[in-house]
Structure formats: structure tokens, C-alpha cells
Chain A
Amino acid sequence: MEQSRIRNFSIIAHIDHGKSTLADRMLEITGAVDPRDMRDQMLDSMDLEREKGITIKAQAVRMDFAAADGQHYELNLIDTPGHVDFTYEVSRALAACEGAVLVVDATQGIQAQTLANVYLAMNLNLRLIPVVNKVDLPSAEPERVAKQLTDIIGFDLDEVLYASGKSGIGVRDVLQAVVERVPPPAGDRDAPLRAMIFDAKYDTFKGVMAYVRVVDGRVDMSRRLRLIQHGSRFEPVEVGYFHPALTTTGFLDAGEVGYIATGLKGVQQTRVGDTITFDVDGATDPLAGYQPAKAMVFAGIYPTDPDQYSAFREALEKLSLNDAALQWEPETSTALGFGFRCGFLGLLHMEIVQERLEREFSLDLIATAPSVEYQVTRTNGTEIEIDSPAELPPTTEIEEVREPWVKVSVTVPARYIGSVMGLVAERRGEFDHTEYLDHAEDEGESRVLTTYHLPLAEILTEFYDQLKSRTAGYAAMDYQLEAYRAARVSKLEILVNGEPVDALSSIVPTENAAHQGRKLVSALKELIPRQMFDVPLQAVIGGRIVARETVKAMRKNVLAKCYGGDITRKRKLLEKQKAGKKRMKMLGSVEVPQEAFMAVLKMHE
């Protein structure tokens, strides 16, 4: 397809504003998917995405659109995730496009992530097409939302389109606008090949599958290829595009989006953001790559069955190919054995990674409490960065600890401002400013954008759930890493039978430490089964015991009447008890059921 008739675009939106549904309609209208094969949220191909109803991975699809001028256009749509944790995925997808459809729910208006995504797109100089979506709903307020778009973002009113992804109203107009407003790709077809890897996936048969946007030249099956930065070389096994199923063509031209099966088996040999060119007579300059994502949340992840360690390592390697934001390095724990310290973009990311590892690789995993990354200045002047309690130096060696703070934007109807303020104050946060997105007749109904500064650690612990519940579900949020600030934190240790359990220790704000300690210890008391001896449980901060409980020794475990000499059955009962003990984790000489241990680890508070 000649470049003038190619359009590459994304859809960006706050979560649930209808991006995936709109994409479904586009696929239908352009005939990319046979109506009989149509499922809701067609592009959300991972089981997890369908279950959670959110898009996690960016997806790409090629559509053939007959525009109003009678010409056929090749539209490449790259779907993007909406959740804050996946901003990184969004920016990668956007970098492969020239334009973006900005979807705003006609009943919700502009929300925190709408703005975050708009700024991302503007930084990349993308042409934006504002679409007020869900106009079929009785509660839709299209004029009000259109006014927000003009007032806040600066669109002209006549630029704004109105659509319903559900009913299909206006969707063809959106596609027509993509053709008219988004500029065609500007690559040089005669230059040597340069293709940007914006995503990758591992396929058992075809090796690493690189998802690419071809910027210059043409890729086909005839020439050996090379990754400019990494240097690995390969013969392409297959080249094609997404329809959304993989469709082989044997070539991709400048401006097009598709995939190259590399046949590379070593997942470490490819990296998202790298540039593919010819091995011989290739381009020398890589395309501007992506900033590697910065992990903000860290946790130890361990296989519950130690025999799964190497399978776990392999799974992490494969997954990180597809999830460039995931970081990991080996870690050992006396309580949990061998595992990895992993870095994530946020809690949802952490949860999703764990679930994907368990589902896609049949692993059984256990995670420690998440932590942020602290900067520590020691008394001897040296600087270290730590993301695990084990690395925190003794108090006497610490000059200063700094923790990451984030700028949090919350969009909410004005009447909830007070509730949000309250929550922020409880979490050591500071108010920055309030901005009205519009003015309703009833002042409390007006939409406001409020901005705060909070320690990142504070929003990791159920902040989002709290925000939602205190605002009747109206609030939406987004956050960005801002700066490091001095922090008063302590290492909270949990001792079971006098021995510290490394997997249960955490770094907590000094002022909350005692409270947290009490909470953990009393939860443990309920969860640890009685042993043959009294088991003291203690929470310790800097050598000082702040909480103490005792699991009293067991006094009775005896079989009932042995009726009629049924010895086999008695033995079976004992065998069952024995099997139960086998599944216990040993914390020193204390037997703790795996489930109990997990339950405490899950108390991420």
C-alpha cells in the first residue's frame, strides 16, 4: 500500500470510557472480523483481560477502510491499556502512530487518565481526534463534555465527534476523520530498513515475535536481519500483519505495522525499543527508542514449590519479553527459599504479572509485601538505593532516608473534594491545587481536577479502593513520580518463636510502625496453628518489642473411639494429618500452613 493511503493510530481513553468497544465496532465496519467471529472486546485477547474487563497489553490490527473519496485506506489501529500502571505500554503504542482518537465518556467527562494520555500524545506530536462516546446513554451530556474538551484541552468545538461504540452511531465518521486528519507516515521507502520493535512475544515454534512499525524501507523474507543496538542476527521466519489474527504477507513496507517472527529462541536476544535493520548494508542509526520504564513497586516472588525455581526463572525471561517494564533479580529468603526480587510499575501490574506467571506457566507463587525504592545516605556519606527491608542499614548507620513522592491528580465532582482531602491527609499527603473542569448549576456537580503530593508508599496500600469508596465511585486518579523527599521510616520485623521471619518484615513509616506491628502479630496469632509448645509472636522495631502475642501450646489431638477394630481407617486419618504437615512451611521449629503464610503476606497494609 502506498504510504499516502496508510494511517497509523491509537485510541486513548480513561479506563472504561469505551475504547475496546469502539475498536470492536471499527473492526466490524471495516470487515476485519467476520461478524460471526465477533466477540466483545475483540482485541483483549488475554484471558485475564477479558476477565478483568481491562486492556493490559497493547494490541495491533490492520483494517481496510473504503473512505468517502472512494479510495481504500490501510488503517493500523493500536489498542492501548487505560490503567495508570500501564502508561508505559501506552507511550510505546503511541510512538508507533501519527494520530490518536481521544475517547471521552459522555456521562463521565474528562478524567484523570484522559489528561495523562493527552499529555503523552501531545509530547509525541500526535494528531488528536476528540470523540465524545456513549451518546446512546440517557444520562449522556455530550455538550457539557464537548465544552470540557474545548476549555481544558483547547480543541475547537467543530473538531469534536459524537459516537456510540455500543450502537455504532458515528463510528464511520470517526474512521473518516482518521483518514482526513491523521497525517500519513513519512518514512523513506528507498532508505535501508529501519523497524521499531514496540512489543514482543514468545512463540514456541517461531521464536521471538517482534511487533514492529516499519519506519524506513521494506522488510521481506529475502535478507538477513540484525538488531542495531543488541547486535543479534537472524533470518526472518515469517513476516505479516494482524487482522487481528496473524496474517502472513512475506513483507511490510515503510509506514506499516506488523510482525516479524525472528526464530530467535533466546528471549534475552531481543529488546523492545530496539531497531531492526538489514544485517548487511543496513542502517547505522537506531530510531529513538523508548525510555526504559521505571519500576516503582518491588516485592519478592517465590515459587511455593522449591522445585519450580528454574521453571520460574524461565517464565520470567519469557514474560519480560512481552512486558518490558518488568524487572527482576535473584533473591533468597530463609522463610521462602529461592526466588526473585521483582520491580513493577504499580500494584495492578504486580498482580497481573503474578497472575500471568501462574496461568501461562502453571506456577504456584507467593509474594512478599510490596515496597517502594528508598534512597539512603549513610553516616559515612555513601548513598545507596534499597527496595527491600533486608537492605536497610541499622538505624545508627543512617544519616537520612528519602522516599519517592508522586503527584496525584484526581478528577471528581466538587462535592467530594472534602472526602478526598481527608483521605490524602490520612496518608501523609499535601494538597496542591484545584481546577474546575466545568461549572454546573449545582456547584457540587461541577467537575474538578485536584492535585496532591503523596508518598508513593501510601498509595500502594488500598488508596485507590478507598478513594473510590469515599466518592461513591466517582473519583478517578492518575499519578506520576515527582521527587524524593526525606522520610521517617523504620524496619518492622516479625519474630516467630524468637526468630525473625525475613519474608514478613517491611519498611514502614515510623509513626505507623507500632500499629502495623500489632496488626500483623494479631493476624498471625489467628493463622498459626497451635504447636507442641507455646509460640511467642513479636513485632520488633529497632530492637524494641512493640507487640507480643502467644500461640498457646496444643493440648489435644487424639483419635476418637476405634470402632470394631477398624485400624486401616485410623491409619488413613493419621496419614491425612501427616500429609497436611508435609505442606507446612517451617519457620524455625514452627510449622505454618502455606495458606496462613500467604494470608499474612497478602495483608499488604
Chain B
Amino acid sequence: MERAGGGCYPRYMASTSPVGQQTVRMSGGKPALALYLHIPFCSSKCGYCDFNSYEGLEHLVPEYTPALVHELELWAPAARTFGVDTVFFGGGTPSLTTLDDMSAIVAAVREQYDIAPDAEWTLEANPTELTREHLEGLRHLGINRLSMGVQSMRPDELELLERAHTPERVVQAVEDARAAGFDNLNLDLIFGLIGQRPEHWQETLERVLQFRPEHLSCYALTVEPGTALYYRVQKGQLPDPDPDIAAEEYEWTRERLARDGYQQYEISNWAKPGRACRHNLVYWRAEPYLGFGAGAHSFFAGQRFANVDAPNRYEEAVAATVEARATTGSAAMQQIAGGETPDHTTQMADAMILGLRLMEGVGLEEFTTRFGARVEDAFADALAKHTRLGLIEVADGRLRLTSRGLLLSNEVFVDLLPDPPEE
């Protein structure tokens, strides 16, 4: 998956350069681009979920694939000078998309974009309805990385999260995935659950380790406004999650995963050597990506923008864009809901906030080359304060979060943001 590298960094780091205009990541002799495709449908909405995902919108599914294909076509000319080395189907639940539809979408991607032969093709899946046959079909279409939402291996916790599957279903789905030929498997987990004791989390992680996944994402639960879980906490039906227990579990997790040979490459992500998610790294390194589908986000040509969230409006907007191209020749992308062109200061802050999430941190020299300003000057106060508090450190010419800083990263990030303009 990852190209070979050397030196003191793990291979995934050496293969690309973190930030910097001088050293753009390449794919097939062209600057590299990542593609993200969003599938907003789920069979049921989980209690903690604030993603752009919907249950009960099955009637919109038939029109969704053509809309995605059209949107891929709309952007293709702009992406002609790029080579694509990672394609990611996220959701929602992309594993719900039928093989016929998947094959149409994959075909469009391959036809319209310059895809590297060794590209990473990830698909997010829920164990609930996943069949061996479907998995084989996906593998056959060229999907070579599967990311499965497991979250917990305890029935009571799955219930709390309103997940639709059981631990047994996970066991079966993983077995089927392996049998279907997926040798690059990620499992998503959530710790710091309400009422969770450290031994509960340890139980989940130990069971999951038995699957020998190549990659693990472990997120601390956050109770997001607007979710069912948030409502229950607000109503007092459930207590707030305990941040100290989450911290304890996190520290244990780091040790435990290191023992099994996983390398932590980001605050919440671990991988076996060479198995870091190329697509994830694109985000953290502030490299370009194009997003397709309802609510999908893009960072392209220095701009950040996003599509409309509602799947029906997305479908209509793409149709309208296609129609306008044909009749008036208008180039306006009507599916885009809004965006921003980060100014120089914001770009610097983004590079820091994203880069510090990675264990590789921010290269001081690369930063200077890219922005014409030194980290030490642009962020002098924040650097002094958080070095003193022991949340960040500089070593080997790179600025990184310390072990303690990982879980307190927001405290650092907040001080890296530019001051808001005075009213």
C-alpha cells in the first residue's frame, strides 16, 4: 500500500512530505489528490451520531448514484492535472449501497480520474447487514481497505449507543471480510462511554485485537448537541461521560496497542507499520481532496467548501447544475452550500492544528518554507505557554504534542487560532 521509505520515521511518514509547497506529494508523476465519496444513508440512526447521515430516506437512494456519477463528471476537468492515490467511501453506511450501484460509481471514478494502480480504496461498513457475498463483490470492484464501525464488543454499550448490531455479528463480519480477501482492515471503536469502567473498555479492545486488524481508530465519546444521547444527558436521564476515566482508558490503550506492534500516528489512530490510512493523512497534512455527495467537504485550489447536507437537495442541485451546463453553459456548481478561502493566518493556524494531531508533528523548517514565517514567531505566546504547561515540545526540528498534550490538544489549539476581529 505505502511506498517504501527509510530513515528514522515509520514508512508512512517517509513516503510523503508533511507540509510544504516545495515538496508536493505525487501520484503517477502528477500532484496527488484524494477523493471522498459520501453515502448519507443508514438503516437506523445511532444515538451519538451527528454525522450527515439519515435513516428512512431509502426513497432517495435510486437517484443518488446517478447524482454522484454526474458530480464526478462535473469535477473531472478541474482534476485533470492531478493523480489520485486514495479514494474513500464514507458515510452514513456505504456498505448499504448495492453492488450494481457501487460498480457504476467505481467505474465513473476510474473513467474520469487518473487513478494510481496502487491507490488506497477504502469503504466504511457496518457489521449489521454485511454479507460475505457483498464483501466479495466489493473486493472484486477493487476496494482494498475496509473500515468497520464496531464501537464496542459489549451488548449493554452497543445498546447505549443505539447500534443495530451485536458483538457476535462483528465476529462474523470480520471473518467474512478476511475470507473475502480484505487484508487491510480498520475497526472503529469508542471509549469513555457513559457508565463505562476501564475494565469494560479493556474487554472490548482485547477482543478486537484478536481479529488482528491492520488499523484501529479509537475515539473518546463526545456527546454532540442535537443527538439522541445529548437529549438524554440534558434531560438528566444519563450522566455526562467521565473525562478522567476516558483519560485513564486512553493512556492504557496507547500502551496496550504499542505492545502489539501498533504505531500511533494520530491522536485517535493506530496502524501496523505501513498501514496508516493514506486518506486520513491527507486531511491532517492539509493536502487537497475533492468530496462528492451530500454534505461532502473539499479542500481544493486553496479553498474549503462543502455540498448541501440534505440528500434530496443535493440530488436536485446536481441535476440543476448538469442542466445549466447543457443549456446556458453556466459553470456554477449549484450543489455547493458554502465555503471559505482561508487567509494566510488561518492557513498557518490550520496547518498547526491539523499537523499537531499527527505524531510526526509540524516540521519547523517545512513550515517556514511554506508560509514564509517561523512557527516560533507566529505563535510565540502559545508556544511559550504550552511548553511551560508541558503540552507541547520541540525535538529533531519538529513541534509535537507531548503524551499529556494528546488528550488536551484543544487547550493548545485554541491558543493557535487567530484572534477574532474586534466587533
- Asked if A pairs with B, the answer is yes
Stretch of B158-166, B205-213, B294-302, B373-381 that contacts chain A: B294-302
* A288 at the B interface (CB under 8 A): no
Are B268 and A556 interface neighbours, CB within 8 A?
A: no
**Shortest Cβ gap from B393 to chain A (Å):** 15
**Chain B residues with CB under 8 A of A568:** 297, 304, 306, 339-340
Name the residue of chain A whose CB is nearest to the CB of B419: A578
Name the interface residues of A314-335: CB closer than 8 Å to any CB of B: none
Contact of B283 among A532, A560, A565 (CB under 8 A): A565
Are B247 and A556 interface neighbours, CB within 8 A?
A: yes
Name the interface residues of A550-570: CB closer than 8 Å to any CB of B: 552, 554-568, 570
* B220 at the A interface (CB under 8 A): yes
**Chain B residues with CB under 8 A of A533:** 389
* A581 at the B interface (CB under 8 A): yes
Are B297 and A566 interface neighbours, CB within 8 A?
A: yes
Are B408 and A565 interface neighbours, CB within 8 A?
A: no
Contact of B296 among A557, A560, A564, A578 (CB under 8 A): A564
**Shortest Cβ gap from B154 to chain A (Å):** 20
Are A567 and B283 interface neighbours, CB within 8 A?
A: yes
- How far apart are the CA atoms of A532 and B405 in the complex, in Å? 10
- How far apart are the CA atoms of A552 and B244 in the complex, in Å? 10
Are B350 and A561 interface neighbours, CB within 8 A?
A: no
Are A557 and B409 interface neighbours, CB within 8 A?
A: yes
* A36 at the B interface (CB under 8 A): no
* B113 at the A interface (CB under 8 A): no
Name the interface residues of A515-537: CB closer than 8 Å to any CB of B: 532-533
* A571 at the B interface (CB under 8 A): yes
Are B411 and A567 interface neighbours, CB within 8 A?
A: no
- How far apart are the CA atoms of A560 and B217 in the complex, in Å? 11
* A472 at the B interface (CB under 8 A): no
**Shortest Cβ gap from A128 to chain B (Å):** 57
Interface centre among A557, A562, A564, A574 (most CB of B within 10 A): A564
Are A578 and B283 interface neighbours, CB within 8 A?
A: no
**Shortest Cβ gap from B342 to chain A (Å):** 9
Contact of B243 among A556, A574, A575, A579 (CB under 8 A): A556
* A577 at the B interface (CB under 8 A): yes
Name the residue of chain A whose CB is nearest to the CB of B248: A555
* B127 at the A interface (CB under 8 A): no
Are B291 and A565 interface neighbours, CB within 8 A?
A: yes
Are B220 and A567 interface neighbours, CB within 8 A?
A: no
- How far apart are the CA atoms of A153 and B406 in the complex, in Å? 78
**Shortest Cβ gap from B234 to chain A (Å):** 18
* B353 at the A interface (CB under 8 A): yes
Are B350 and A567 interface neighbours, CB within 8 A?
A: yes
Interface string of A429-462 (1 = CB under 8 A from B): 0000000000000000000000000000000000
- How far apart are the CA atoms of A532 and B415 in the complex, in Å? 13
Contact of B407 among A558, A560, A567, A571 (CB under 8 A): A558
Interface centre among B217, B408, B414 (most CB of A within 10 A): B414
**Chain A residues with CB under 8 A of B222:** 559-560
**Chain B residues with CB under 8 A of A567:** 283, 297, 299, 304, 350, 354
- How far apart are the CA atoms of A574 and B416 in the complex, in Å? 10
- How far apart are the CA atoms of A574 and B408 in the complex, in Å? 12
**Chain A residues with CB under 8 A of B420:** 575, 578-579
**Shortest Cβ gap from A60 to chain B (Å):** 44
**Chain A residues with CB under 8 A of B414:** 574, 577-578, 581
Contact of B267 among A558, A577, A581 (CB under 8 A): A558
* B362 at the A interface (CB under 8 A): no
* B410 at the A interface (CB under 8 A): yes
- How far apart are the CA atoms of A533 and B250 in the complex, in Å? 19
Interface string of B186-212 (1 = CB under 8 A from A): 000000100000000000000000000
* B417 at the A interface (CB under 8 A): yes
* B72 at the A interface (CB under 8 A): no
**Chain B residues with CB under 8 A of A564:** 36, 38, 51-52, 90, 291, 295-297
Are A557 and B407 interface neighbours, CB within 8 A?
A: yes
**Shortest Cβ gap from A306 to chain B (Å):** 15
**Chain A residues with CB under 8 A of B391:** 532
**Chain B residues with CB under 8 A of A579:** 420
Name the interface residues of B31-65: CB closer than 8 Å to any CB of A: 36, 38, 51-52
Are B36 and A565 interface neighbours, CB within 8 A?
A: yes
Name the interface residues of B352-400: CB closer than 8 Å to any CB of A: 353-354, 389, 391
Are B417 and A578 interface neighbours, CB within 8 A?
A: yes
Interface string of A564-605 (1 = CB under 8 A from B): 111110110011011101000000000000000000000000
Are A554 and B408 interface neighbours, CB within 8 A?
A: yes
**Chain B residues with CB under 8 A of A555:** 243-244, 246-247, 407-408
* B219 at the A interface (CB under 8 A): yes
Contact of A532 among B291, B339, B408 (CB under 8 A): B408
Are A571 and B417 interface neighbours, CB within 8 A?
A: yes
Contact of A574 among B246, B406, B413 (CB under 8 A): B413
Name the residue of chain A whose CB is nearest to the CB of B192: A556
**Chain B residues with CB under 8 A of A561:** 217, 219, 268
Are B283 and A558 interface neighbours, CB within 8 A?
A: no
* B224 at the A interface (CB under 8 A): yes
**Shortest Cβ gap from A525 to chain B (Å):** 15
Contact of A558 among B51, B52, B410 (CB under 8 A): B410
**Shortest Cβ gap from B163 to chain A (Å):** 15
**Shortest Cβ gap from A207 to chain B (Å):** 34
- How far apart are the CA atoms of A561 and B299 in the complex, in Å? 18
Are B51 and A560 interface neighbours, CB within 8 A?
A: no
Given A558-B267, A578-B414: A565 touches B219 (CB 8 Å cut-off):
no
Given A533-B389, A567-B299, A568-B306: A574 touches B417 (CB 8 Å cut-off):
yes
* B289 at the A interface (CB under 8 A): yes
Name the interface residues of B265-296: CB closer than 8 Å to any CB of A: 267-268, 282-283, 289, 291, 295-296
- How far apart are the CA atoms of A555 and B406 in the complex, in Å? 10
Interface centre among B52, B192, B353, B410 (most CB of A within 10 A): B410
Interface string of A371-406 (1 = CB under 8 A from B): 000000000000000000000000000000000000
Given A564-B295, A567-B297, A571-B353: A558 touches B409 (CB 8 Å cut-off):
yes
**Shortest Cβ gap from B99 to chain A (Å):** 23
- How far apart are the CA atoms of A586 and B415 in the complex, in Å? 16
Are B219 and A560 interface neighbours, CB within 8 A?
A: yes
Are A565 and B350 interface neighbours, CB within 8 A?
A: no
**Chain A residues with CB under 8 A of B268:** 561
Interface string of B305-337 (1 = CB under 8 A from A): 010000000000000000000000000000000
- How far apart are the CA atoms of A552 and B297 in the complex, in Å? 39
**Shortest Cβ gap from A544 to chain B (Å):** 32
Name the residue of chain A whose CB is nearest to the CB of B406: A558
Given A556-B220, A558-B267: A574 touches B353 (CB 8 Å cut-off):
yes
Name the residue of chain B whose CB is nearest to the CB of A580: B414
- How far apart are the CA atoms of A581 and B90 in the complex, in Å? 34
- How far apart are the CA atoms of A176 and B389 in the complex, in Å? 81
- How far apart are the CA atoms of A559 and B410 in the complex, in Å? 7
- How far apart are the CA atoms of A570 and B192 in the complex, in Å? 20
**Shortest Cβ gap from A581 to chain B (Å):** 7
- How far apart are the CA atoms of A557 and B224 in the complex, in Å? 14
Name the residue of chain A whose CB is nearest to the CB of B416: A574
Contact of A565 among B246, B297, B406 (CB under 8 A): B297
Interface string of B213-232 (1 = CB under 8 A from A): 00001011110100000000
Q: List 30 A-B contacts (CB under 8 A).
A: A532-B408, A554-B411, A555-B243, A555-B408, A556-B192, A556-B244, A557-B243, A558-B406, A559-B222, A559-B410, A560-B220, A560-B224, A564-B38, A564-B51, A564-B295, A565-B282, A565-B289, A565-B291, A565-B298, A567-B297, A567-B299, A567-B350, A567-B354, A571-B349, A571-B353, A574-B353, A574-B413, A574-B417, A578-B414, A578-B417
- 4 A-B pairs closest in CB distance: A555-B247, A560-B222, A556-B243, A557-B410
Q: A564-B51, A578-B414 are in contact. List 16 more A-B contacts (CB 8 A).
A: A554-B243, A555-B244, A556-B192, A558-B220, A559-B410, A561-B219, A565-B36, A565-B282, A565-B291, A565-B298, A568-B306, A568-B339, A571-B350, A571-B417, A578-B415, A578-B417
